Amino acid sequence: MLIRNDRDGFLLPASSEITPQHIYQGRRELIRLMATGVAGAAMASLALRDARAQAARPGKLAALAGTRSAVAGAVVIDKLTDYKDASTYNNFYEFGTDKADPARNAHSLKTTPWTVEVEGLVKKPARYTLEDLLKLSPQEERIYRLRCVEGWSMVIPWVGYSMAELIRKVEPLGSAKYVEFITQADPKTMPFVGSRVLEWPYVEGLRLDEAMHPLTLLAFGMYGEVLPNQNGAPVRLVVPWKYGFKSGKSLVKIRFTDTEPRTAWNKAAAQEYGFYSNVNPNVDHPRWSQATERRIGEDGLFAKKRKTLMFNGYEAQVGQLYAGMDLKKFY
Ligand code: MTE
């Protein structure tokens, strides 16, 4: 996260700058409709069709389809980020600190067998195999906008179900106020575990009500397939109104606590990465503004930056969770 590379500096053109033909044709159709004055509803349905067309599985990994989610805010009507960008440009420091390292190195991650332990302040602690987790609730597809603290964003069709489904099964005690998410840290299969860049394992945390929010997703797949290793296989968290680093990858333990967990980035640089880390264009990172973002796939020399939206555009769904809080203090 502290590291910049060529693409952050707009030095390299991305392959995704070349508009695929079906999208180009979709835009022409839209322009024609606008000219004939029937653009309103057509615009939404075309955009959705564009998004769906690209959500077809890329055919690399095992299929994992989800039904369309009924959760409010689960579908962002934006062009999807290309699978190639979403799976080759990201952070997973257990495999290196360059954006290309996870895709290059994560083949060594061993995802079977996999278990997730649920412990702490719950009535029913449990040890779930991945298979148990997959059966716990029906898989849904959710198209979420994700915004990284470094200033880039993507739109990804995830497959999974609300974290709340799992939380309800284990019955948190009245004293449980927070949930800690602990991720895999195996130096044998993760070459950068042991490096001093972060404290291992990578840990994230949410308040219990944030973890229970229907938008908080326990994800097993993306683009209709199981997660590629570099995106957090076999199971990860996705919290779309928070900066990307709140979404812990390759989860092995979920612990319910009565105290606020110390998270990996908070331990590394507390003045820069707070516990909440809600996307907020009005609160700058101490070293850069958070007011705008660069959408991956739109990063040509002349591409305009987008305005970052409060809570990443999910204010209507999650704003109430923070009513009355000073978001400058609780950043
Ligand atoms: N999870 C683990 N275990 N290790 C990491 O280094 N990086 C975080 C988050 N989850 C990270 C992690 C950061 S900084 C980001 S921006 C997101 O994963 C990016 O991953 P994605 O683009 O695949 O969602």
Question: pLDDT (tens digit, 9 = 90+) per residue, 143-169?
Answer: 999 999 999 999 999 999 999 999 999
Residue-level pLDDT at 19: 37
Residue of the CA atom closest to atom 18 of ligand 1: 245
* Dihedral sign, Cα of residue 62, residue 67, residue 68, residue 73: negative
CA dist 8 and 97 (Å) reads 14
* Domain parsing of the chain, residue ranges: 20-56, 64-322
**Cα distance between residue 221 and residue 156, in whole Å:** 10
8 A C-beta contact, residue 46 and residue 26: yes
Distance 302 CA to ligand 1 centre (A): 28
Which atom of ligand 1 is least distant from the CA of 86? 22
Q: What pLDDT score was predicted for residue 16?
A: 35
- b/e string for 52-89 if b means 16 or more Cβ within 10 A? eebbebbeebeebebeebebebbbbebbbbbbebbbbb
Q: Span 228-235, mean pLDDT? A: 98
Residue 84 has pLDDT above 60, yes or no: yes
* CA 146 – ligand 1 centroid, Å: 11
- Ligand 1 atom 13: the closest Cα is on which residue? 245
Q: How far apart are the CA of 84 and the centre of ligand 1, in A?
A: 17
Q: Is the pLDDT of residue 189 over 80?
A: yes
Spacing, Cα 247 to ligand 1 middle (Å): 6
Residue 47 CA to ligand 1 centre (angstroms): 28
9 band by pLDDT with thresholds 50, 70 and 90: very low
What is the SS3 assignment for 315?
Answer: helix
Match domain 64-322 to its CATH number in 3.40.605.10, 3.10.20.30, 2.60.200.30, 3.90.420.10.
Answer: 3.90.420.10
Find the 1 Cα to ligand 1 centroid distance in Å: 9
Q: pTM value?
A: 0.86
CA distance 293 to 311: 13
The atom number, within ligand 1, closest to the CA of 246 reads: 9
Mean pLDDT of 200-225: 98
User: How many angstroms does the Cα of residue 258 sit away from the middle of ligand 1?
Assistant: 25
| Position 4 pLDDT exceeds 90 | no
> Mean pLDDT over residues 103-122, rounded?
98
Pocket of ligand 1 (CB under 6 A): 1, 90-94, 146, 148, 183, 202, 231, 244-245, 247-250
Ligand 1, atom 15, lies closest to the CA of 245
| Average pLDDT estimate for 216-241 | 98
Q: Name the percent of the chain lying above pLDDT 70.
A: 83
Who has greater pLDDT, 4 or 180? 180
Burial of 106 (C-beta count, 10 Å sphere; 0-12/13-18/19+): buried
Mean pLDDT of all residues belonging to the chain: 88
Instruction: Choose the residue to mutate in 87, 90, 198, 273 for probing ligand 1, maximizing ligand atoms within 8 Å of C-beta.
Output: 90
The per-residue pLDDT for range 12-62, each reduced to its tens digit, is 233 333 333 334 333 444 444 444 444 445 555 555 555 555 557 888 899
